[in-house]
Amino acid sequence: MDPALYDSSTRLQICDDIGSSGIFARYRKYPIRMVDMTDIYDELQRVPKYAHILHQLYAPRNSQDSQDPYAYTNPYTICRFTSTIFPSKINKKHIHLYKKEYVFMCLLKREDTHEIIPFYVSKAYDVHYELDVHRFVFTGLDSKYPDVMLAERSARAFTTMADFNVELHYLEMRTRYHSSME
């Protein structure tokens, strides 16, 4: 079961992991950085053009005990994404693919203009028979040609077992692997 489905702190950690991984640095022409969600709340409240982001990430608290009337929830929502594929360099025709996906929002910020840039992370997909968890990362709904990337769970280190046999572990993993070409 994907813990991000029910836990906003897990979604926050996923945003931090993907945003700080460096994956966006390769694909952007301008410098960007990860947004600290604990610091961004005040800015989202002050700047009217970010009101829709504020209301997607934060919900009113039920209790009056807190100083802050809003809590970070960042729920999954259904969004429609468009991808454009150019199958051939010779034939300039393109194909539009439309996909509805359950996603939650994460934020980046341009370092030169301080503009907040949302990106969206899908629910977890178990594509290798419980070996790796993958999520699709969409870099924009408003873009004409949004990027779609694949993020996978961080590697796990097996350091606690003194008699751990790496070769045997590798062979066991290979027996569960099925090539997409088969």
Q: Read off the pLDDT of residues 83-131 as tens digits, 9 standing for 90 and up.
A: 777 666 666 677 777 788 899 999 988 888 888 988 899 988 765 555 5
pTM confidence score: 0.73
Average pLDDT, integer, range 162-176 = 72
> Could you give the CA distance from residue 14 to residue 143 in angstroms, rounded to a whole number?
23
> Could you give the CA distance from residue 170 to residue 166 in angstroms, rounded to a whole number?
6
* Cα Dmax for the chain: 64
Residue 75 scores a pLDDT above 90: yes
pLDDT band (50, 70, 90) for residue 35: confident
DSSP string over 90-103: SS---EEEEEEEEE
pLDDT band (50, 70, 90) for residue 153: low
Closest CA to 124 of 17, 13, 3: 3
